[in-house]
Chain A
Amino acid sequence: MFVQFFLRRLMYVIPMLIITTLIVFSLILLIPGDPAVALLGENATEEKIAALRSQLGLDQSILAQYWNWLGNAVQGDLGRSLFTGENVSQTVISRLGVTFQVVLLAMFFSFIFGSVFALTSVLKPNSFLDYIARFFGVLGTAIPNFWLAMILVVIFSVQLGWLPATGFISVTQSPVDFFKSSLLPSFCLGAFGAAQITRQLRSSLIEVMESEYIRTAFSKGLLKWSVMWKHGIRNALLPVITTIGLLFGNMLGATVVMETVFALPGMGQLAVHSILQRDFPMLQGVVLIMVLMIIVINFITDIIYGLLDPRIEFK
């Protein structure tokens, strides 16, 4: 039964892969005029333009171009950087670690802050803590993360001097320095997530606590905490799994801004640099790898949801 469910979800992923790769490939079609001229600038020689045209395969039909590009991409060959000549897939993969570490820490912050706020909010409705939690829930979704980052840099780097304003140290080099260098970026990245999880978990907890099986549990004489833990949280966490999957994609996108602010050498910064340098193969590489990661994460959260929610039947 489960195998069938798994395979059906997998079947759903295939058209996603085809369409997303088509979109990433088509980005080059959006460049107005002749992409080779646009990428090299007006002063490029005829030879250079011709060379780039054949490198990008622009002299072939669009379908053939897509097919070649996809064929190479499947084998891990995403072309070469127009700017440095580096291998695109290797460069993107080498940036993966930084982004992944920061996003994971941000996810951790989101989940911890989000759950604590939601729980205090639901346990004591309309209390002072509830208002604080709701305030952060509203603020976190509206504050521009780069502005929050600037405020925190002024407080913790400029005024207090506790944390570095820029730079990154990998967790494999020094866990303590990693935490110091990614505390601010992860916190700013996680603020939106924390607010989302607070809102989501709060409303699903309220919904669950009003349900009949909770009333039954109370009428059995169980303690509030025990009901909350055994019946409330476990059921309310289900929709949060989906939220976490969505947040992952959101955070990967937001690293574009955060990594630029904090000068972290990750995928987001690479994306911004590639646009500034008109390095199109590199940009396509970053976008492709990110969207593939998101499709995998969404697939996994779908499967986990299916495993945990007894209401989903594997038919």
Chain B
Amino acid sequence: MIRLFLTKLYNEKLAFYSFVYLIFLILLSIIAYFFAPYDPDVQDLSNIMAPPNSEHWFGTDELGRDIFTRTLIGGQAAIQAGIVGILIPLFIGVPLGVISGYVGGIIDDIFMRIVDAVLSFPAILLALAITGALGVNLWNAMIAIGVIFTPQFARLSRGQTLQIRREPYVEAAKISGSGPIWIMMNHIIPNISSPIIVQASFSFSLAILIEASLSFLGMGAQSPQISWGGMLHQAYSMIFVNPLMMVFPGLAILLSVLAGNFLGDGLRIMFDPRTSRL
């Protein structure tokens, strides 16, 4: 199964390398604690704002901390945000959407009006407001990101469910006496999983982007917790002194978001070869 997936994905070169990059990023951010060249929090005031060199590959910040180590560990916040940001909608949005599409009627009407209403909020602003209400920290920011992604998954799963709920195999299951929950779990969800996986891939990268934005605003990860957005916030305050500090955390965000987007594009073509390439 996994092997088949990887072989098929390998045909979409860009998506395959993006997938490898993301796996690599996850592993790297975990093992960074044990193998990083420096302690991320140790200050070396005799060596501040050094440009990239052979000792400090990405240079040092205004307190002499090693930016390479901090960038590696900052990946954890991004990866966590990406994962929480898709798990919440997968476990809440998808079931709501499937129920809405399968049951129809007044439930469908109510659910979809709520979905439309939430989607009319600007995503970042709503995430910010939810984080502000729950209390400013990385965990609440990740929950907020998951919440704002939920309606999109609900709408997508509802649309897909509507398309297949009159298919012969669903009707057959109904006639043979299967209950609605059994049908939704065993016939509907497995058959609508492809577009949801594609959506999850795009949402993963958007979650990384929003987490970085929130942390940049000081509404996500709080010091001493390290995140790319927080590092850029630091770099911004030093922009007139040392512009080099912003290069690597920014590149890290850009590459990770690109990887998620490429993976999404590749998966979409893999699942549905008729769609055109951009």
A105 at the binding interface (Cβ < 8 Å) = no
A188 at the binding interface (Cβ < 8 Å) = no
B271 at the binding interface (Cβ < 8 Å) = no
B50 at the binding interface (Cβ < 8 Å) = no
Asked whether, in the complex, the Cβ of A142 is within 8 Å of the Cβ of B135, the reply is no
Q: Which residues of B contact A260 (CB under 8 A)?
A: 217
A237 at the binding interface (Cβ < 8 Å) = no
Q: Which residues of A contact B239 (CB under 8 A)?
A: 150, 153-154, 158, 165
> How far is B122's CA from A286's CA once the two chains are assembled, in angstroms?
12
A: number of interface residues (CB 8 Å): 56
* CB proximity to B under 8 Å, residues A266-281: 268, 271-272, 274-276, 278, 280
* CB proximity to B under 8 Å, residues A1-55: 15-16, 19-20, 23, 27-28, 30-32
Q: Which residues of A contact B243 (CB under 8 A)?
A: 150, 154, 158
Asked whether, in the complex, the Cβ of A144 is within 8 Å of the Cβ of B213, the reply is yes
Q: Which residues of B contact A16 (CB under 8 A)?
A: 113, 116-117, 120
> How far is B219's CA from A260's CA once the two chains are assembled, in angstroms?
12
> How far is B114's CA from A233's CA once the two chains are assembled, in angstroms?
35
A199 closest partner in B (C-beta): B278
Asked whether, in the complex, the Cβ of B133 is within 8 Å of the Cβ of A287, the reply is no
Known: A27-B129, A30-B130, A30-B134. A150 touches B250 (CB 8 A): yes
Asked whether, in the complex, the Cβ of A150 is within 8 Å of the Cβ of B235, the reply is yes
> How far is B57's CA from A128's CA once the two chains are assembled, in angstroms?
35
Contact check: which of B120, B205, B250 meets A20 at CB < 8 Å? B120
* CB proximity to A under 8 Å, residues B95-143: 113-114, 116-118, 120-126, 128-136
Q: Which residues of B contact A28 (CB under 8 A)?
A: 133
Asked whether, in the complex, the Cβ of A19 is within 8 Å of the Cβ of B117, the reply is yes
Asked whether, in the complex, the Cβ of A142 is within 8 Å of the Cβ of B124, the reply is no
B8 to chain A, nearest CB (A): 22
Asked whether, in the complex, the Cβ of B254 is within 8 Å of the Cβ of A23, the reply is no
Cross-chain pairs A/B with CB under 8 angstroms, 6 sampled: A142-B258, A143-B254, A150-B235, A203-B276, A249-B120, A275-B129
* Chain B residues close to A by CB (< 8 Å): 113-114, 116-118, 120-126, 128-136, 205, 209, 212-213, 216-219, 232, 235-236, 239-240, 243, 246, 250, 253-254, 257-258, 261, 276, 278
